[in-house]
Amino acid sequence: MIKSVCGYCGVGCGVVYDDSKLLGDVSYPINNGNLCLKGASRLLSINPQTSWAKYRRL
Q: Where are the domains of the chain?
A: 2-46
Q: How many residues does the chain have?
A: 58
Q: Pairing between strand 2-5 and 21-24?
A: unpaired
7-43 tens-digit pLDDT: 888 888 999 988 778 889 999 998 998 988 888 887 7
pTM of the model: 0.64
Residues 49-57 have a mean pLDDT of 64
Distance of CA 9 to the CA centre of its chain: 13
Q: What is the pLDDT of residue 14?
A: 92
Secondary structure (3-state) at 2: strand
Whether the pLDDT of residue 47 is over 60: the answer is no
**What is the secondary structure of 13-35 as a DSSP string?**
-EEEEETTEEEE-TT-TTTTT--
